[in-house]
Structure 1
């Protein structure tokens, strides 16, 4: 692990474990591990394009996470320069397009009638899902990186300084605010809150997972996914940057330099936990758990006892996205814009394609029937389909 100089005084932000962003006047020492070269893939499956299009300038070279919103037959996507589009899922035909006079920092979130974005000025913006018309906007205390989340009656945002705020979806009036303590150093990434009818689940840079009452913002329970330890601020990083995975009446959560845990969603009681370090949400299929570790290794764990079944280390330090299950494969993207298909059974690399030379930061989204939605950093939005290689 590298050491960040002047971490406390300058408040440097580590952009995952593969890259660093430094505040003006600050510096870093050492470097992270060099990423593994793009591996050779023997074949098995290939990524066939169903359709693709360009959405503005994508992430515009900024460290943003502007994931598209899948609403069934319609997809919604936004770019950093304010281009918002609604397109048909099956063929990519344009339903509507709106060019906002805003630099977008977070989104897209949504509910039955609204889309939600946060701009660079820290304003929460609500648009109509029907035509993209602006319905309201309201000021936030500071910047937001994770997409706003809504249950239809309230929309919740989480700021980078550890605050969770709830707003009425009709007019954007603030309902409540919860404040958490933020460490001196944190990763420049954040998990979107989970918003249910009665409870909001928020993940924080201090390693805590907290359940809040949806109507009041009052804490219900708290669970420590990670506890800071070590002498340097970098060693003490315990951010939770992947949204917890809902499994019936339980939550599966993993943190950086923390643990992978299954907890009861009503009480916060731990069912089991095991040491782990990851920046990404876990995935589950066929009774097994799949993780992309902080160093880029992909691992499969047996769900019953968390014993390791296989490990794929050929993608080490390539800043992988969250591993997503698509049919019989895990699909991940990397910082150079490659997509990989990995066998769920044994972890072998079975497919590879270069998608966006500016990289892929947001996870792919499965659409069923072997199809997946991909949004590259450069603005390429596409639906691909995994097919057996000829």
Structure 2
């Protein structure tokens, strides 16, 4: 499939520091209490259990003492960043010396600048799921043949930006309509769909679900005030079983879980990294990026927090630590036990990408708005190399056997040598490449943002010049 008008490409109808929650800062629940008891009834269950069954970590613990477990032991589970620890690491995959586009088709049409959903192969590799910002979910074979197309209610808002978690024959994904969806992969039909009211009026779920032992974990977003919540959900029914809504900002990162360390972590737009004990879900610690006095920037939620140090990227957990990038321009290593800062690396520009971790060599790969990808020693934060990729990096970085794959705002997907950072190749696309690139069985899948004119011009109407496509690359013959 080459996208020249045949098959999928022809379907023009597709053309989408260790401070507590900051001393003296009222909690979200306390602020809501000021608007009247009738308005806060649905928030009274903060951190409460609704008949929750505590998940068993046994299947996600390190096997035989080996700390390198990039995904759950269960081969029937596939998740964003390849598992609970969110490494983005594919050591058994190799990247060809030269590549060409095997197939492509349009998926993304919305101007929202959040990173686009990453294509997700099923565990057996026979189906590729691609969620779009139009609220559609595409299922295709590795050769690009369509299996099915599912229209969802997420198309009424900003569609999907998270990536499905796949368990057996079911995919779970949250939408920017505030709902969570379970999809039968064989049939291409909904199994269940939540209502935003089920999550106390959530306006969006931009994070990708974490799955363990029949349970899902997601971050939900709220407005008025700008805030968030971590939710635990029964995967079979979609019923929420627990939540903690003492989170400021509107959180985008996907929860990461380290069962060996007994921690769940995520971040939010208030510049705070939140740590919970796992599986008990007692709050363990918080870390405020941007300095002891909090980040500078515009006040939000009546001054309860300020923008300026947002934590946008998903935070991988490795070697007893959490690795978080911030809009304050720093990349942090935090102790998982107490949330204290162990080191930070300064790029000077916003960091919002999802970093990759090579757990065998102890290297973190992170992208910045300064147009560079950095390889950092996870023990010391020492820079091993840096590579200019021509534009901002806001999506996911993928580490393979010999190569780093990274999309750029310069409309290219880059392949960098893992040891040196030297460019192996780059592929020119249409729009900003902000999804992750997923290698599987000799193919590389990724997606881009649509191309817009006047997007930042308040005086002119924004125009979609070309939809963003999903791509499959193969070795060049």
TM over 0.5: yes
Q: How many Å separate the matches in 2 of 1:303 and 1:213? A: 23
Offset at residue 237 of structure 1 (A): 1.2
Q: Which residue of 1 aligns with 2:45?
A: none
Other structure's SS at 1:237 match: coil
Match of residue 345, structure 2, among 269, 275, 285? 275
TM-score, normalised relative to structure 2: 0.61
Other structure's SS at 1:256 match: coil
Q: How many Å separate the matches in 1 of 2:153 and 2:131? A: 13
1:47 and 2:92 matched: no
Q: Which residue of 2 aligns with 1:284?
A: 357
Distance 1:373 1:101, change over 3 A: same
1:77 and 2:130 matched: yes
Offset at residue 230 of structure 1 (A): 5.8
Q: How many Å separate the matches in 1 of 2:438 and 2:131? A: 16
1:122 and 2:173 matched: no
Other structure's SS at 2:98 match: strand
Match of residue 138, structure 1, among 194, 199, 203? 194
Q: Which residue of 2 aligns with 1:58?
A: 108
Task: For residues 250-279 of structure 1, give each alpha carbon's deviation from its aligned partner in whole angstroms, at most 9, with x where no partner exists.
Answer: 4333322164333454x2454831233521
After TM superposition, the structure 1 = structure 2 runs for residues 1-390 of structure 1, keeping only pairs within 5 Å, are: 45-49=97-101, 51-54=102-105, 57-64=107-114, 65-72=116-123, 73=125, 74-89=127-142, 91-103=143-155, 104-112=159-167, 113-140=169-196, 141=201, 142-160=203-221, 161-182=227-248, 190-195=252-257, 200-213=264-277, 217-227=281-291, 229=294, 231-233=296-298, 237-247=308-318, 249-257=320-328, 259-265=330-336, 267-268=337-338, 270=340, 272-276=342-346, 278-285=351-358, 286-313=361-388, 315=390, 317-319=391-393, 321-355=395-429, 357-367=430-440, 371-377=443-449, 378-385=467-474
Distance 1:125 1:269, change over 3 A: closer
Task: For residues 114-171 of structure 1, give each alpha carbon's deviation from its aligned partner in whole angstroms, at most 9, with x where no partner exists.
Answer: 3223344322222223322212222232222222332252222212322222221122
Distance 1:226 1:368, change over 3 A: farther
Distance 1:386 1:303, change over 3 A: farther
Query: Contact 1:225/1:253 (CA < 8 Å) preserved in 2?
Result: no
Q: How many Å separate the matches in 1 of 2:120 and 2:205? A: 17
Query: Contact 1:259/1:273 (CA < 8 Å) preserved in 2?
Result: no
Corresponding pairs, count: 334
Q: CA RMSD in A?
A: 3.2
Query: Contact 2:137/2:151 (CA < 8 Å) preserved in 1?
Result: yes
More strand by share: 1
Q: How many Å separate the matches in 2 of 1:199 and 1:305? A: 22
Q: How many Å separate the matches in 2 of 1:332 and 1:300? A: 13
Query: Contact 2:352/2:394 (CA < 8 Å) preserved in 1?
Result: no
Q: How many Å separate the matches in 1 of 2:323 and 2:296? A: 29
Task: For residues 83-117 of structure 1, give each alpha carbon's deviation from its aligned partner in whole angstroms, at most 9, with x where no partner exists.
Answer: 2222334x333333323354123433224143223
Distance 1:386 1:280, change over 3 A: farther
Offset at residue 195 of structure 1 (A): 4.8
Query: Contact 1:208/1:226 (CA < 8 Å) preserved in 2?
Result: no
Other structure's SS at 1:76 match: strand
Query: Contact 1:210/1:221 (CA < 8 Å) preserved in 2?
Result: yes
Q: How many Å separate the matches in 2 of 1:335 and 1:237? A: 21
Q: How many Å separate the matches in 2 of 1:66 and 1:376? A: 9
Q: How many Å separate the matches in 1 of 2:381 and 2:475? A: 29
Other structure's SS at 2:444 match: strand
